[in-house]
Amino acid sequence: MRGASLGIGIGFGFFLAAARLTDYDVIHNMLLLREPDLFLFFGAAVGTALPLLWLLERSKRATVFGGALQVTREGVQRKHVAGALVFGTGWAIAGACPGTALAMPMTGNILGVFVIAGIFGGQWMREAVVARLVRLRALAAQI
Amino acid sequence: MSGAYRQVRFLVLGQAITETWRVCFFGGLIAGSLLAAILRGGPNFTLGYGNLAAVLPLALLVPTLFAGGILIGFGSRWAEAVLRDTV
């Protein structure tokens, strides 16, 4: 399983860098709808993954994780919308997502390390907020 | 991808890793992007950041990118199941 994850990671990182998704201007132009070809790139990824996942789930074949594939289905919830809004704002500012940010320094874009550091910090902050809310709710329940 | 960052954070902080495969994926992504850069003639190291570096000096660019990263990380965890039954 670790080998498969490593291999898939290598392939993913290779294509992110080869497609120049590590370039701020490429992402910025895409978000400004100046480079619509990138939407075809994303569409191709979804168009490939969707039928494969459907087939894998339907066949009930054991995956490298040991069991049959079970795709989790969730309706749109408040957390998805709120998270997407915050994530998208960061994406527009930095011109990167968690994957491309990681590939940036490898292609020579040194400042990508600050985006990576921010992502680690942002995740930690969100978990700290949740932990505090849980504590507050527990306190409120005792009162 | 967001989960991979979380597991690597656990690894760096010496906490228990619950999904080792995500750490492997994280490392693979780094290796794969480096491989692509090498095949293109090697990483082209720069302190530039495209058009954003043209409008922001380095002293402003660094905190801006860090803030962008904070939003990406915060938003990704918000949208994930970590919030189930909490917010």
> The domain containing residue B37 runs over which residues?
1-44
pLDDT reported for residue B87: 41
Low-confidence ranges of chain A (pLDDT < 70): 65
Q: How far is A49 from chain B (nearest CA, A)?
A: 16
What is residue A67's three-state secondary structure? coil
Contact B65, A49 (CB under 8 A): no
Nearest CB among B32, B62, B70 relative to A111 is that of B62
pLDDT reported for residue A79: 87
A98 in contact with B at a CB cutoff of 8 Å? yes
pLDDT reported for residue B81: 54
- The percent of chain A in helix, strand and coil, each rounded to the nearest 5, is 75, 0, 25
Q: How far is A58 from chain B (nearest CA, A)?
A: 24
Co-location of B1 and B40 in the same domain = yes
Contact A123, B5 (CB under 8 A): yes
Give the angle B54-A41-A110 at the CA atoms, nearest 5°.
35
Co-location of B8 and B29 in the same domain = yes
A 8-47: CB under 8 A from B: 8-18, 22-25, 28
Co-location of B29 and B66 in the same domain = no
Global ipTM: 0.89
Co-location of B5 and B38 in the same domain = yes
Give the angle A54-A59-A65 at the CA atoms, nearest 5°.
85
Domain boundaries, chain A: 2-142
Co-location of B35 and B51 in the same domain = no
Tell me which residue has tokens 């990380």.
Answer: B73
B5-27 residue pLDDT tens: 999 999 999 988 888 889 999 99
Structurally, chain B folds into a number of domains equal to 2
Co-location of B55 and B39 in the same domain = no
Q: Cα–Cα distance between B87 and B82 in angstroms, integer?
A: 9
Contact A110, B46 (CB under 8 A): yes
Q: What is the mean pLDDT of residues B67-72?
A: 96
Q: Cα–Cα distance between A125 and A2 in angstroms, integer?
A: 29
pLDDT reported for residue B85: 42
Nearest CB among A7, A14, A79 relative to B36 is that of A14
Co-location of B38 and B60 in the same domain = no
Q: Cα–Cα distance between A14 and B64 in angstroms, integer?
A: 27
Helix axes B2-12, B58-79, angle to 10 degrees: 110
